[in-house]
Structure 1
């Protein structure tokens, strides 16, 4: 017989909530690891399955897309099935995707397993934050969020480094098996620490399947339309038209339905609307660069996979430390200023990468990535604070979910667009004496830098309305 919540709290006392947080955090870190670890294996996957960059990038973009859409359903799953069942099912799905993905016989099979992993990751991602808000007192929530945030941002840094080593020593299949030990540990912890009578269960309304379907069709059509642009305008135009119609339909449906996936009244607040735009570009920059840098290091500069993955590790550590510091600074300085500063550093990092060449030293490239991760660290805590300031209390939960959704959607589209743009520029410069690889990557980095710089304008407009600022 499984223990109840009351029995577990009696057994573990005040440390029980920390054990629950640790359980959910390890699973979430495993899902993030599965997201980033594959990027360093893209060149190997491209050779093994004979893929161009526009198809190879779907290994990352497919994961991001599935994660983005499934996270909208997390609150419904928690209310319907409780924490234990929801989290255990997500971990089992992640485990299944990792094991079967490692034995993939063809590219469609591999891509399907990446989508399965993404669905699991999307369900898991919001859960630790919900646990913190539900289980911790207000005076402990900051500390808990800091511990969780440190682990979450460290995972994308470790992913490429571990992935590079595994690919070099054991081949691309080994990267899928990396999540297996984490999943087994979490399954054991869930069985021991998560109660059968979850306090998150309750009366639940029907899931907004119409909204989820419209969002899914629109996003998938948009990404596929972008991928097929280089093959001809006919099919691409049809897909992009379907995407536009679906996304417009989603917005109109959410405006008139009650208890939908997204409360559209949030966008009437200027600071939130600008914050959502910044979150979208932030996600594109974060996940797009995590995809682009390892591929650049291997294809253009001919580094080994382990060296390409190791390049991002120091920057990831700097990112984790910066988030803690930036969180404290957000209490002293206007959040929009810190977000603008972070975006400026991020754009500078991409600009420097665009100016690189085969003569650029390894540690110089590492320094440039550290500058970008420093910028990302300033953006993350300040973005949430700046976007949410001024919202009505009843809109805060929906606002937090929407900002997270926009960031992940930006990541999915960013990875896709980066891969498409890179493939286009490689084709343009293919006749160059050196194959034009460095030039193609430089132009791609330059476009991403310009995109991040354009977000500074939106970040600056995240200022709370004057009356609210005066009241503060």
Structure 2
């Protein structure tokens, strides 16, 4: 009798809900830290005097570390048991949270986020493994929908609570919000999660695979971030891309030939799983990229406070609370490819609408567009989670769970990184284009300068300072308009990403039939 069977014997059918509640609390703590920091990005940039590309490492570092450790969950479960693994992961997460809140500079802050991400990468696959252990196959879609409630409840309330904490105290307090949930998760894990099932020596661990993967993620993401500053054709950038390509190829070859692979390549012999993996990657890129863009946009362009930026995301989060359980039940009855295709199309539509956002777009218009996007994601998430695993044999479920999450998070890390770099490049391009038109021959510009100078003269500014002050105002206007146009381009890229995802979704349908 397995330990899970003993828990069922002890607690009866209700045990599956005790186990689900335990992993939901743990997931809330790590998901809070994934998204809540986004509302603090502008404040961190100001506190440490860093650029947007440097600040994005606060999010990208977390996602990259989370990606690298996701594949360890299956091995850790077999080696140490779910209880000990969850306790260790939440303990490391607690340490990272405290260090992040006390960080004296951006380097320590980024390292703290990497520690948090490494712990979070273990937790989410463990949650999926546990759900598949306690729910029968015909109930797993509904279970994914219920579990998804915590995945969206944290992002719905977290940014708003984080914004309130920032406005009332300081940006550092956003790192402490997940601490109570982590403590409760450790307590519940000791009560309701099973220990190690196997006896004997620990299973072999793929240390070379982890090392190669870490090299790939660190080099490719840092190369993409620094390429704008160093030049895309500079020696450092080219060497970075070469090392990234070599490490990616080395990782694949190693995993194919090692006896104990961290990522079992047999998964990718299943065409339906491959199609689902491509969709997961694209979904991760679009989801995390857009979630990063929106709070930064409304604070930098529209001048919203962190609390307002958090409130903007609340309606969409509560809508997902309604959509997720419904979509979970539908995923047990409707082919996954249909739900995914509909959800991707809805999200693409919302991104198309968001590409028109500007400084004058109202709060509720932005909130409505965000609600539309989350309806689409609510349809996609349970379907992609259960659909990717339903096509696998039972002995590959642990590997499949880790691989599915790994691929989605890998897409998220690339999405945030590339969108930030893209927006920086587009901001410079738009600024050059706008600045080139601000000449004495431009009647609109001259009229603006006269009006601004008149307003400043009436407010008592000396005549000798009128022209410099008006020119400074014009420069600020050009910067804001350039940034606005760049963000619009970024949302259009997200739209294109989700339209592209419809192609592998169709392949999922073909693989099923």
Query: Structure 1: which 5+ runs fail to align?
Result: none
Q: Cα distance, 1:293 vs. partner?
A: 0.4
State how far apart, in whole Å, the 1-side matches of 2:82 and 2:328 are. Answer: 28
- Is this contact kept in 1: 2:129–2:398, CA < 8 A? no
In structure 2, do the counterparts of structure 1 residues 458 and 136 end up closer, same or farther at CA, with 3 Å as the change threshold? closer
User: Which residue is 1:52 aligned to?
Assistant: 51
Aligned-residue RMSD, C-alpha: 2.3
User: Which residue is 2:507 aligned to?
Assistant: 461
Query: Structure 2: which 5+ runs fail to align?
Result: 435-473
Q: Cα distance, 1:66 vs. partner?
A: 0.6
Matches within 5 A, 1:31-70: 31-70=30-69
TM-score normalised over the length of structure 2? 0.84
User: Which residue is 1:220 aligned to?
Assistant: 218
Matches within 5 A, 1:25-174: 25-138=24-137, 141-174=140-173
Q: Cα distance, 1:31 vs. partner?
A: 0.6
- Over residues 123-181 of structure 1, what are the superposed CA-to-partner deviations in whole Å (9 max), with x where a residue is unaligned? 11112222222234456545543321211222222222222111111111110111121
- Is this contact kept in 2: 1:79–1:201, CA < 8 A? no
User: Which residue is 1:243 aligned to?
Assistant: 244
For 2:44, what is the secondary structure of its paired residue?
helix
For 1:461, what is the secondary structure of its paired residue?
helix
TM-score normalised over the length of structure 1? 0.91
State how far apart, in whole Å, the 1-side matches of 2:406 and 2:139 are. Answer: 26
- Structure with greater Cα Rg: 2
Q: Cα distance, 1:350 vs. partner?
A: 1.3
For 2:259, what is the secondary structure of its paired residue?
coil
In structure 2, do the counterparts of structure 1 residues 394 and 85 end up closer, same or farther at CA, with 3 Å as the change threshold? closer
Q: Cα distance, 1:373 vs. partner?
A: 0.9
For 1:207, what is the secondary structure of its paired residue?
coil
User: Which residue is 1:210 aligned to?
Assistant: 208
User: Which residue is 2:449 aligned to?
Assistant: none
- Over residues 4-54 of structure 1, what are the superposed CA-to-partner deviations in whole Å (9 max), with x where a residue is unaligned? 999977764543443233222211110110111100000000011111111
- Over residues 307-327 of structure 1, what are the superposed CA-to-partner deviations in whole Å (9 max), with x where a residue is unaligned? 111111111222232222223
- Over residues 206-230 of structure 1, what are the superposed CA-to-partner deviations in whole Å (9 max), with x where a residue is unaligned? 1111111111111111101100111
- Over residues 250-270 of structure 1, what are the superposed CA-to-partner deviations in whole Å (9 max), with x where a residue is unaligned? 111222223301222332333
State how far apart, in whole Å, the 2-side matches of 1:322 and 1:346 are. Answer: 14
State how far apart, in whole Å, the 2-side matches of 1:39 and 1:259 are. Answer: 37
- Is this contact kept in 2: 1:276–1:406, CA < 8 A? yes
1:231 aligns with 2:229: yes
Q: How many residues align?
A: 463
Larger CA deviation: 333-342 vs 380-389:
380-389
State how far apart, in whole Å, the 1-side matches of 2:198 and 2:153 are. Answer: 28
For 2:509, what is the secondary structure of its paired residue?
coil
